[in-house]
Amino acid sequence: MLRQIAVPVAAIITFLGLWELLVWVNDWPNYKMASPSDLPPAFWKYKELFVTMGWQSLWRTVAGLALAVVFGTLLGMVMGFSKIARDALYPLLVGFNAIPKATLVPVISLIFIGQHDFNTVLMAFMISFFPIAVSVGIGLSTLEPEYRDILRALGASRFTIFTKIALPKTLPEFFGALKVSVTLAFIGTNLVEIVSPHGRGLGALFKSGETNGDYPLMFAVLIALAFLGIILYYAVVYLEKIFAGWAERPQG
């Protein structure tokens, strides 16, 4: 247990130390690259802003992610159970996913003018539902027929087979995808926050640091984003342990 915490903490400290050393050895000014020791003052100076902006980024990301889970799972179910739906939807989905989402920011900003919260949540959702839909779809469509037959032979309904077998069996794939989606959703949120004018959230704070030439602030925002990403990621890991802990093999 101690080792589980000590190892990542030591890795982070080593990383910060190397970063500090790199800036110090090259004698870079903070507008080229801020060093870790510049960051605490930056955090302290804008501590209220970090809390409110951080919260805005966080809730929008989580809201987008929640939409992605619901929509992605439903889409995955449709594709998992129907080959026709799979054939029809895959090219569309892949095509949509291949579009750089930055190009969609002006599009959705024009469709939903001024709806900053909505636009941000929508982007977080659009960028993160794809892995969930694909993994749920694959999980369901590759269910071995024997798993279905043990219940079907007893006259179980499709719904019972889904809830008792297909759904739990897909959970490990689902959580694997969710871990990818978490970080993607953050990218979506920040994209809108940075690009759209009069934005809010950590992305907007980054933008204001850029406008004001406050480089330590910009780096502090990046670290804050990384921190939130780590927190959300481990929240997913925690949920995975509860709901799909069975998939973890005992370490031998």
Partner 1 sequence: MANLIEIKGVTHAYKTASGLLPVLDGLDVAVPEGTFAAVVGPSGCGKSTLTRLVAGLMKPDQGEVWLHGERVKGPRKTVGMAFQNPVLLEWRTILENVILPLEIVAPSMPRADRVARAMELLEMVGLSGFENKRPSELSGGMRQRASLCRSIVHKPEVLIMDEPFGALDAFTREDLWQTMRDLRRAEPFTCVLITHDLRESVFLGDQVFVLSGRPARTQYLMQVDLPEDRTLDVLYTPKVADMLHILRDQIKIAQGRDGEVH
Minimum distance, C-beta of residue 159 to partner 1, in the bound complex (Å): 12
Q: Does 242 participate in binding partner 1 (rule CB under 8 A)? A: no
Q: Which of 91, 153, 159, 251 is in the footprint of partner 1 by CB under 8 A? A: 153
In whole angstroms, what is the distance from residue 75 CA to residue 148 CA?
21
Binding mask 166-185 for partner 1 (x = CB under 8 A): --xx-x--------------
For 219, the token pair is 């780096």
| Total Cβ atoms within 10 A of residue 12 | 11
Q: Which of 58, 90, 138, 152 is in the footprint of partner 1 by CB under 8 A? A: 152
Closest CA to 57 of 234, 189, 220, 208: 189
In whole angstroms, what is the distance from residue 3 CA to residue 5 CA?
5
In whole angstroms, what is the distance from residue 69 CA to residue 178 CA?
8
Q: Which of 25, 84, 249, 251 is in the footprint of partner 1 by CB under 8 A? A: 249
Q: Which residue has the tokens 């007893």?
A: 154
Minimum distance, C-beta of residue 235 to partner 1, in the bound complex (Å): 21
Measured between alpha carbons, how far is residue 145 from residues 46, 170, 198 in Å?
58, 14, 54
Minimum distance, C-beta of residue 242 to partner 1, in the bound complex (Å): 12
Minimum distance, C-beta of residue 88 to partner 1, in the bound complex (Å): 21
Element at 163 (helix H, strand E): none
Kindly tell me which of 89 and 171 has the beta carbon lying closer to partner 1. 171
For 8, the token pair is 């990542």
Minimum distance, C-beta of residue 148 to partner 1, in the bound complex (Å): 9
Q: Does 155 participate in binding partner 1 (rule CB under 8 A)? A: yes
Q: Does 144 participate in binding partner 1 (rule CB under 8 A)? A: yes
| Total Cβ atoms within 10 A of residue 89 | 17
The window from 41-49, 90-98, 151-159, 216-224 that contacts partner 1 (CB under 8 A) reads: 151-159
The burial class, CB within 10 Å (0-12 / 13-18 / 19+), for 33 is middle
Minimum distance, C-beta of residue 55 to partner 1, in the bound complex (Å): 35
- Which residues contact partner 1 (rule: CB under 8 A)? 144, 146-147, 149-156, 160, 164-165, 168-169, 171, 244, 246-247, 249-250
